[in-house]
Structure formats: structure tokens, C-alpha cells
């Protein structure tokens, strides 16, 4: 269920952060800091999420339309 997905997400995030810290040692690239970054204004985060979600939905709908047109013309 949702709890299992949540646990796996945190486990995967932990593993990725440890790996990034290990790989970024001595490179001067602050990847690990970027992963830990938390936004201050959640309104902006939610707005960006809505925009990205809408854009993805539009792309998928367009792809489905093109696919349906292709299938229709192939028959």
C-alpha cells in the first residue's frame, strides 16, 4: 500500500544521497546539498507541479491523438 511505497521512496532517496555524497567527494560539485534542499514557499512548488502535470497530460493526450489517427489511417 501507500506506506510501503513511502518506505521504499525514503530508502531509495537515502541510498541515492549516500552514493552521490561518495561520488561527489573532491569534485567541488554540491549534488548532495541539492538533494537535501527544501523549498521555502510550498505554494510555488505546488504551482510548478500543476504546470508540469498539465504539460505532461497535454503531451500524452497529443501522443494518443496522433496514435489514434495513425491507426485509423492504417486501416
Cell 521504499 belongs to 8
Rounded to a whole number of angstroms, the CA Rg of the chain reads: 20
Q: Which pLDDT score is estimated for 34?
A: 59
Domain limits for position 57: 2-74
Quick: pLDDT tens for 27-46: 665 665 655 667 778 888 78
**Distance from C-alpha of 15 to C-alpha of 32, rounded to nearest angstrom:** 11
Alpha helices for 1-75 (secondary structure H): 2-24, 31-36, 42-74
> Checking phi first, is residue 5 left (phi over 0); if not, alpha (psi -120 to 50) or beta?
alpha
Q: Identify the weakest region by mean pLDDT among 5-14, 26-35, 59-68.
A: 26-35
Q: How many domains does the chain have?
A: 1
Amino acid at each position: 500500500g501507500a506506506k510501503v511505497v513511502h518506505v521504499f521512496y525514503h530508502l531509495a532517496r537515502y541510498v541515492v544521497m549516500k552514493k552521490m555524497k561518495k561520488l561527489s567527494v573532491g569534485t567541488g560539485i554540491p549534488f548532495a546539498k541539492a538533494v537535501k534542499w527544501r523549498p521555502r514557499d510550498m505554494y510555488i512548488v505546488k504551482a510548478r507541479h500543476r504546470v508540469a502535470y498539465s504539460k505532461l497530460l497535454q503531451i500524452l493526450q497529443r501522443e494518443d491523438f496522433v496514435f489514434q489517427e495513425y491507426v485509423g489511417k492504417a486501416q
